[in-house]
Copies of this chain bind each other. A is one copy, B any other.
Amino acid sequence: MIEADFEALDRLRSQRPLIHCISNIVTAADCANLLLAAGGRPVMAQEPAEMAEIAGAAQGCVLNTGTPDDGKFLACRLAGQAALAAGRPVVLDPVGAGASSYRCQKLTQLLEEVRPTLIRANLAEVQALLCLASRELGVDSPEPARRDQAPALAGELARRLGCLVLLSGESDCVTDGRRAALIEGGSGWMSRITGAGCMLSVLTGAFLAVSEDFLPAAAAAAAFWKVCGQQARQSAQAAGGGTGSFHTALFDAASLLGPQTLRQQSRISWLTLN
Contact = CB atoms under 8 A, between A and B. Distances in A.
A243 interface: yes
A100 interface: yes
A192 B251 CA distance: 11
Given A47-B102, A50-B102, 15 more contacts: A29-B30, A29-B194, A33-B194, A36-B192, A37-B192, A45-B68, A50-B101, A53-B102, A54-B99, A54-B100, A57-B99, A242-B256, A243-B251, A244-B252, A247-B251
Contacts of A245: 248, 251-252
Copies of this chain per assembly: 3
A246 to B, nearest CB: 8
A253 interface: yes
A42 interface: yes
Interface stretch (A19-27, A162-170, A208-216): A19-27
A25, A28, A249 pick with most chain B CB within 10 angstroms: A25
Interface string A1-31: 0000000000000000000000111111110
A248 B250 CA distance: 13
Interface string A32-63: 11001100001111110110011001000000
What are the 7 tightest A-B residue pairs by CB atom distance, in nearest-first order?
A: A244-B251, A242-B255, A50-B100, A242-B252, A32-B194, A50-B102, A244-B248
